[in-house]
Copies of this chain bind each other. A is one copy, B any other.
Amino acid sequence: MKKFVLTIAREHGSGGRIIGKKVAERLGVKAYDSELIKYTAEKSGLSEEFVGNIETKKPTSFLYDLYLNAGTMSIYDQAYIAQSNTIRELAALDSCVIVGRCADYVLRNEESCIKIFIRASMESRIDRVVNVYKETDEKSAERFIKNMDKKRAYYYNYNTQMEWGKSRNYNMVLDSSYGTDPCVDAITAYLNGIMG
């Protein structure tokens, strides 16, 4: 198979992360998520915790205004740039899967980059955050999921000036409501067809 980079963006609770890991396992390549955070933290001098959370942490407007007025780059922008450099370096090394972190946008000019977005019905996402991730209870689940999506969309749209989840930005938008395995099968087959 030719060298490729597969990027996976995902709605919260859609199982996108586990789909990325399974595709990587099946194709015998690395899936980057926590390693990416670690490398970025090492290079930028920021903490792993901070880098790990930038995707869902919105800069407060007060702090952000302070940075802008001081004419310096905000710590969020610094983290984003360090992370983008890490993504480009890892993508240049070998075939791999990268989950989240605007990787589809960072690698938009790479011909070998195949971009996936995973979505699912609210019902199956509630089931996953309550029973698999155990992040919240059934009552608060929908509000919790919508809040996470809002943060991811804000982060993506702010950094890319594009629209998170819009099908034209991806090669495949896939519904995982029927389970993660059919998605793994579909992505692997598509990638084999293109790169095989």
Chain A stretch 51-65: residues in CB contact (< 8 A) with chain B: none
The closest CB in chain B to the CB of A176 belongs to: B171
The closest CB in chain B to the CB of A191 belongs to: B182
Given known A-B contacts A167-B119, A167-B167, A182 and B190 have beta carbons under 8 A apart: yes
Given known A-B contacts A182-B194, A189-B188, A174 and B175 have beta carbons under 8 A apart: no
Report the Cα distance A188→B173, complex, angstroms.
16
A190:B186 contact, CB within 8 angstroms = yes
Q: How far is the CB of A186 from chain B (nearest CB, A)?
A: 4
A190:B194 contact, CB within 8 angstroms = no
B178:A167 contact, CB within 8 angstroms = no
Report the Cα distance A194→B172, complex, angstroms.
17
| 29 pairs, A vs B, C-beta closer than 8 Å | A117-B167, A119-B168, A165-B167, A166-B167, A170-B173, A170-B175, A171-B174, A171-B175, A171-B177, A171-B178, A172-B173, A172-B174, A172-B175, A172-B186, A173-B173, A174-B190, A178-B194, A179-B193, A179-B194, A182-B189, A182-B192, A183-B193, A185-B189, A185-B190, A185-B192, A185-B193, A186-B189, A186-B193, A188-B189
